[in-house]
Structure 1
Amino acid sequence: MSSHDRITTPFTRESTAAEVIDGIDLTGRRAVVTGGASGIGVETARALASAGAEVTLAVRDVEAGKRTAADITATTGNSHISVAPIELADRASVAAFVAAWQGPLHILVNNAGVMAEPLNRTQEGWEHQFATNHVGHFGLALGLHDALAEAGNARVVSVSSSAHLRSPVVFDDIHFENREYEPWAAYGQSKTANVLFAVEATKRWAADGITANALMPGGIRTNLQRHQNANPEFQKLIEGAAWKTTEQGAATSILVAVSPLLEGIGGRYFEDATEAGPNVPPAGTGVADYALDPEAAARLWDVSLEMLAR
């Protein structure tokens, strides 16, 4: 961990997105939330809308997106909520979203994700969790770079997970071609990539007024766990877990997206609405050194560019 001052906030693990955004005016600001039609994505989008932002829900299921947009408008009075299709594991879909975007973008929330699913590969042969959780969001952020730069003081929110503690990015075999596939290791690797992305994006783009931070939302019961509901080990793991509501789960995303405390600050990892300290095993909290490693971050960026150039 570098010697920078850790950011602390008045918020706690119980704080909600509404509490974090209270008093902040986002009128005239534009935001994109991937996966904005389910789980914490809905509450992240709702909070941004409640503060006056123009919000685009970038989603796989456009019909679900439209229902969510209508619900957000009904609860916030903000009618500037739009829906656009995106399939993060499909490069053409990400490119189409980028091509359709016009004008500045102030906040990009890379929120969508798949978790601990059975082995699945994209048409390129990439492991699907890495392709969705990291590569799709990397391509999206890269494609929207000029829109973020145009906004000035833009922020990218990279939704990671404490599961990043399960695995660094295994550069020698990212796609499980030569090792046995393990769903949680694959998920963990993709979530480490989300943190490393924030580190390198901030390094490369801070001069354009763009900062990126990563976060762990906390344990929340959402559709993300659909592959785990029949897994007895997972059930045992969650029995004593302190679950958050989706409104509490979105709080740290909102902190990273809008808090004045993070002005000009990037490349960090937050949990429970504050900057996390280093992970000390066997604790399942904090951030792994390898997730903040600048060399790994630079290497991942290069590998990701190579993947997208194929």
Structure 2
Amino acid sequence: MPDLREPFGAESTALEVIDGIDLHHRTAVVTGAGSGIGIETARALAAAGAAVTLAVRDVATGDRVAADIRASTGNDAVRAAFVDLADVGSVRSFASSWSGPLHLLVNNAGVMDLPEQRTPEGWEMHFAVNHLGHFALAQGLHPAMRSAGGAKIVSLSSSGHASSGIRFDDLFFDRDPYDPGLAYGQSKTANVLFALEATRRWEDDGIAGSAVMPGGIWTNLQRHWDPAVLIGMKRRYRTKTVQQGAATSVYVATRAELGPGTPAYYEDCHPAKVVAAIQGGVHGVLPHALDPVAADWLWDASERLLAQSR
């Protein structure tokens, strides 16, 4: 149930959530912070004093966004750095270059409804970018998070997780015909399971995570949608601004109590209800995304896949 003492909800913005929070002497990494809700997540964390790294594929765009955030917040400790989540070598290079503790890792970047694409390893692109890239990043930054003493991981999921659990025997559509909706859904389920399992496995390291559903926000993420479908969705469902969409990420990063046994999926700045079917197109989390057996299996499978990419 929502904590009625907290004034935050669906209409809250990231800057409203961060108000009164002091993140000076804290560090944060936000992936995909060159556009959309990633920008506003990074802006809010910087506004509270955090040193924020925008982990982006397009560094020129990232540099422009970093300059804008520095100007709007007065925080000079905002920079952009290159990482391509589809390229494990790039992820490892980013992580190996990190110096000092890391207090907040916001796995914000993602792709959606792509035509069939694969990495050089043969990994389906949704799973590779949305899950495996972020998994590799968290693994690489684990020592930095451990040294922070109380680090948090925020994993951006979606109500789209409802369309598919983990396809244990066909992760990459090697057997079944490719379906972009199922591929996206599987990757979003993986985001929740990762947060759940990271909290369990890294409890002794003081690291905990949770997944978030930002809400219905129309950004560059939907660029591969059929335009007619997109128009219909905009008419049917209530939408948020990017500032509102970033609020739940910021809430979990700075206000939510995370750890074993705490909620693994938030929406509208509150824990989501476990449901049999998504409500109103956006609300609730399905049991398959909270299955500890699936979380354990996925973690081990992800480690094996990354080991093969060396």
Q: TM-score range by the shorter chain?
A: over 0.9
Once the 2 structures are TM-superposed, how far is the Cα of residue 11 of structure 1 from its aligned partner? 1.0
Corresponding residue for 1:168? 165
Report SS of the residue matched to 1:137: helix
- In structure 1, what residue type is equivalent to 2:300? D
Corresponding residue for 1:106? 103
Once the 2 structures are TM-superposed, how far is the Cα of residue 279 of structure 1 from its aligned partner? 1.9
Corresponding residue for 1:241? 237
TM norm structure 1: 0.95
Identity between Structure 1 and Structure 2 (%): 56
Corresponding residue for 1:292? 290
TM norm structure 2: 0.95
Given that 1:200 and 1:267 are in contact with CA atoms closer than 8 Å, whether structure 2 keeps it comes out as no
- In structure 1, what residue type is equivalent to 2:32? G
Corresponding residue for 2:257? 262
* Residues 49 and 85 (structure 1), Cα distance of their counterparts in 2 relative to 1, 3 Å cut: same
Whole-Å separation in 1 of the counterparts to 2:288 and 2:140: 27
Whole-Å separation in 2 of the counterparts to 1:44 and 1:225: 19
- In structure 2, what residue type is equivalent to 1:158? S
Corresponding residue for 1:273? 269
What is the aligned counterpart of 2:248 among 249, 252, 262? 252
* Residues 263 and 160 (structure 1), Cα distance of their counterparts in 2 relative to 1, 3 Å cut: closer
Given that 2:209 and 2:258 are in contact with CA atoms closer than 8 Å, whether structure 1 keeps it comes out as no
* Residues 85 and 216 (structure 1), Cα distance of their counterparts in 2 relative to 1, 3 Å cut: same
Corresponding residue for 2:221? 224
Given that 2:119 and 2:128 are in contact with CA atoms closer than 8 Å, whether structure 1 keeps it comes out as yes
Given that 1:153 and 1:264 are in contact with CA atoms closer than 8 Å, whether structure 2 keeps it comes out as no
What is the aligned counterpart of 1:29 among 26, 30, 45? 26
Whole-Å separation in 2 of the counterparts to 1:55 and 1:282: 34
Given that 1:214 and 1:268 are in contact with CA atoms closer than 8 Å, whether structure 2 keeps it comes out as yes
Once the 2 structures are TM-superposed, how far is the Cα of residue 282 of structure 1 from its aligned partner? 5.6
- In structure 1, what residue type is equivalent to 2:252? V
Whole-Å separation in 2 of the counterparts to 1:123 and 1:279: 37
Q: Does 1:307 align with 2:305?
A: yes
Whole-Å separation in 2 of the counterparts to 1:36 and 1:308: 24
Report SS of the residue matched to 1:173: coil
What is the aligned counterpart of 2:186 among 185, 189, 204? 189
Whole-Å separation in 1 of the counterparts to 2:133 and 2:127: 9
- In structure 2, what residue type is equivalent to 1:150? S
Give unmatched runs, 5+ long, in structure 2: none
Whole-Å separation in 2 of the counterparts to 1:239 and 1:74: 36
Which consecutive aligned stretches of 4+ in structure 1 deviate over 3 angstroms post-superposition? 5-9, 263-267
List per-residue Cα deviations over 1:42-99 (Å, max 9, x = no partner).
0000000000000000000000000000000110000100111000010100010011
List per-residue Cα deviations over 1:260-284 (Å, max 9, x = no partner).
x415465610001100011232623
Whole-Å separation in 1 of the counterparts to 2:138 and 2:263: 15
What is the aligned counterpart of 1:150 among 144, 147, 152? 147
- In structure 2, what residue type is equivalent to 1:258? T
Once the 2 structures are TM-superposed, how far is the Cα of residue 233 of structure 1 from its aligned partner? 2.9
1:80-119 matches, cutoff 5 A? 80-119=77-116
Given that 1:212 and 1:267 are in contact with CA atoms closer than 8 Å, whether structure 2 keeps it comes out as no
Give unmatched runs, 5+ long, in structure 1: none
- Say what the alpha-carbon RMSD is for the aligned residues: 1.4
Once the 2 structures are TM-superposed, how far is the Cα of residue 7 of structure 1 from its aligned partner? 5.9
